[in-house]
Structure 1
Amino acid sequence: MIDLSVDEEHDALRATVREFAREEVAPVIGDLYEREEFPYALVAKMGEMGLFGLPIPEEHGGMGGDYFALCLALEELARVDSSVAITLEAGVSLGAMPLYRFGTAEQKERWLPPLAAGTALGAFGLTEPGGGSDAGATKTRAVRDGDSWVVNGSKSFITNSGTDITSLVTATAVTGTDDNGRKRISAIIIPSGTPGFEVSRKYSKVGWNASDTRGLSFTDVRVPAENLLGTEGRGYAQFLSTLDEGRVAIAALSVGLAQGCVDESLTYAAERSAFGHNIGSYQAIQFKIADMEVRTHTARLAYYAAASKMLRGQPFKKEAAIAKLVASNAAMDNARDATQIFGGYGFMNEYPVGRFYRDAKILEIGEGTSEVQRMLIARELGLAG
């Protein structure tokens, strides 16, 4: 028998995060978004709630839960705001999880407890200015010099990399070449404040305005040899597996945004009158909201299916790509339709759907564009390219 229900523990978490999002995030996020201000107080509260440690074992300072719990939390946060949700997603999926998956006992002991507590944030340095989707074209280099790695290069669009509580960036770098000339890409932990490690000013972004996104540069950055994360030459493969997990999380965040569009549209349709009737009584609006609900429901099933395979230890690359593609499309389509339902008010930043519309587009780009997801799905189907 197929059971798509959520157990009591997960449901209790979902309810707790839903209340936090409505009572704590919703009243303040509009001003933070407009000022492009990072939500330090909200991050601290999420840390106290244990959200940053949801999939991290208790021995490393986490909650001992699973990745599906993180996905449920992201969905509920994104129903209200995506800047807060992406701060959590990147902090856990891209900051902490690579250390948990591939770190040594010493690395986990040093770095994971504050990351799991939300008192520190980690970042994931993969994308480069000239790379984009072609992450294998990494130009950043790390050269072994005695007991150190010396890193030179740059990264772009890195979330959580320049906050006051950012403790590290795990960056991919070329550490040599194989006999066939192929680059050996490794992952190296670079602590914040290391000499030669410079963080740019915040980007001026279309959306996610209350989150932290910056470019990075490394000029003769010297870190201890033991800061190598995982196996030398396996950094790219490690990060590909990290991205598979991250795509499930981004799908959950996308579902949250899509559901938020439904929530706001239902409320507005019941309150707004035109031509003597609430606009929700008109079939044009009813059908639009019905389509929005269908997209959201379908996308939720897609990420549930991917998360289920992931938690069972089964291959889930194709399912993660499907979930990310379907959910990001649903978020973008729902944001557009919600803005249309709100009319002129939908174009005003004071209304949540205005933020939703600005935040939705990046979901079709970040952690693998929609085109990359289609490429991955085709490969998993056995289509060569």
Structure 2
Amino acid sequence: MYILNRGGKMDFALTEDQRLIQESVRDFMQSKEVATWIKKAETDKEFPHEFMKRAAGLGYLAMTIDPKYGGAGLGPLDAIVAMEEFAYRSVPFSLNILVQNSLAGHAIATFGTEEQKTKYLPKMAAGELFGCFANTEPDAGSDAKSIITHAKKYADKWVLNGKKRFCTNASEAGIAVVFGRTAARARGAPGTTAFLVEIGSELPGFSLDKKEEKVAQYGSTLCEFSLDDVMVAEDAVLGQVGRGWEVCDKTFRHSRIWIAMQGVGVARRAIDETIAYGSLRKTFGKPIVEHQHVAFELAKARVALESARLLVFKAAWQEAEGDSEFVITASMAKYAAGELAEKASCLCYRYFGGLSISSESISSKLHRDAAIIPVYEGASEIQLAIIAKDMLKK
């Protein structure tokens, strides 16, 4: 898709390659095999290893990674076209795809040394190694610079101590991007450093303390872990010492576009399910969707859906073009798509009526899965703050 091509002509069509990506992911996610894995994850609430293995075989675990490291080499626009289709069928499965690609994978691909990229990315692309991104702590969420996990240098080793919280798929990961404080926080200098830590039960000092009992997004795990004198080598530093915030911030800016498209995908599903059910269910002698107030609500949701998707596409296009303004557009997209996901799923829940009280109804599932999207990877309030700050400085 090109928002503006070189000749100055507006073109909102997907390219032929992007249509093929869209169709291939859609076919995969609509398959009976994936439907079985989604159902299994909703029942046992476990990480879908079989799905991820198959996704790896199709090239979906390293979509934007350079082919020299086993990736597919897709551009930002290509990847988010795929992301919408993953999210349409399963929010938690799309989250697993996202964490591997736009968080852990992107951070290593962008800031890693040649040795780090060669060591980790091919295994991540093949589904032999899962990654996670660990910045959030019990007392550091939206204020991401206020982490207290610390790392101290002893000879040629770094020793990490602290606790990380709400880390998606840490229970399955073998490599974690971990942020620790290596200097006091000062104005313009957060004083943090990023480390690549090979986590797991065999790592001395590492403890997986908790897997959250979630009420939604079954099939991805949410974990808390501790680092107690965990020792890593000098070459575990990702990026530069003291510049961890750069790694964290730039990775979140990139991933924000993916989360926004996740919101678009689930919102589109909620609207489609509402129309499908509302076309069959009758009240007062006619289908629900033919009541004007219902039709108007659906029409407003459609406008919001198209608007949010265009913001996501614009942000991805700007990123691909190297336009630094993509950061602001990404915040707009995350805000618009996150809010839409929650509202569209609520609309679906409402118009399914009494069926929504059943945990097995699609309206209930969509409502639960979408509710957290305006919160994670930068809450809506944080996105508004970013947008407002940019407006006021100009």
Say which of 323, 328, 343 aligns to 1:314.
323
Letter in 1 for 2:366: F
Normalised by the size of structure 2, how large is the TM-score?
0.93
Q: Secondary structure at the match of 1:200?
A: strand
Change (3 A) 1:290 1:183: closer
Matched, 1:185 2:185: no
Contact 1:190 1:223 in 2 (8 A): yes
Change (3 A) 1:137 1:180: closer
Measured after TM superposition, the shift of residue 310 of structure 1 is: 0.5
Change (3 A) 1:311 1:181: closer
Q: Secondary structure at the match of 1:88?
A: helix
Q: Distance in 2 between matches of 1:167 and 1:28?
A: 23
Change (3 A) 1:25 1:274: farther
Say which of 213, 219, 230 aligns to 2:228.
219
Measured after TM superposition, the shift of residue 148 of structure 1 is: 1.0
Which string of whole-angstrom CA distances, capped at 9 and with x for unpartnered residues, describes residues 34-78 of structure 1? 331221111111111101111001001101111222212221111
- Give the match for residue 95 of structure 2: 86
Which string of whole-angstrom CA distances, capped at 9 and with x for unpartnered residues, describes residues 249-285 of structure 1? 0000000000000111121122223334332332233
- Give the match for residue 286 of structure 2: 277
Q: Distance in 2 between matches of 1:58 and 1:10?
A: 18
Measured after TM superposition, the shift of residue 150 of structure 1 is: 0.4
Measured after TM superposition, the shift of residue 182 of structure 1 is: 5.1
Matched, 1:43 2:52: yes
Q: Secondary structure at the match of 2:373?
A: helix
Q: Secondary structure at the match of 1:218?
A: strand
- Give the match for residue 254 of structure 1: 263
5+ residue gaps, structure 2, are: 1-8
Measured after TM superposition, the shift of residue 152 of structure 1 is: 0.2
Measured after TM superposition, the shift of residue 383 of structure 1 is: 4.3
Measured after TM superposition, the shift of residue 32 of structure 1 is: 1.6
- Give the match for residue 3 of structure 2: none
Structure 1 runs (4+) deviating above 4 angstroms are: 178-183
- Give the match for residue 75 of structure 1: 84
Matched, 1:210 2:210: no
Q: Distance in 2 between matches of 1:13 and 1:231?
A: 36
Q: Distance in 1 between matches of 2:286 and 2:329?
A: 44
Say which of 164, 176, 179 aligns to 1:169.
176
Which stretch of structure 1 is more off in the superposition, 24-33 or 51-60?
24-33
Q: Distance in 1 between matches of 2:317 and 2:21?
A: 18
Matched, 1:16 2:24: yes
User: What does 1:118-157 correspond to in 2, within 5 Å?
Assistant: 118-157=127-166
Q: How large is the RMSD of aligned CA atoms in angstroms? A: 1.7
Say which of 320, 337, 342 aligns to 1:327.
337
Contact 1:185 1:236 in 2 (8 A): yes
Which stretch of structure 1 is more off in the superposition, 139-148 or 115-124?
115-124
Aligned length: 382
Which stretch of structure 1 is more off in the superposition, 78-87 or 284-293?
284-293
Say which of 114, 120, 124 aligns to 1:111.
120
Matched, 1:363 2:373: yes
Which string of whole-angstrom CA distances, capped at 9 and with x for unpartnered residues, describes residues 330-355 of structure 1? 10000000111111112322222211
Change (3 A) 1:308 1:179: closer
Q: Secondary structure at the match of 1:201?
A: strand
Q: Distance in 1 between matches of 2:297 and 2:392?
A: 37
Measured after TM superposition, the shift of residue 291 of structure 1 is: 1.9
Change (3 A) 1:289 1:25: farther
Q: Distance in 2 between matches of 1:62 and 1:298?
A: 31
Normalised by the size of structure 1, how large is the TM-score?
0.95
Q: Distance in 1 between matches of 2:88 and 2:317?
A: 22
Contact 1:257 1:360 in 2 (8 A): yes
Contact 1:168 1:190 in 2 (8 A): yes
Q: Distance in 2 between matches of 1:304 and 1:181?
A: 31
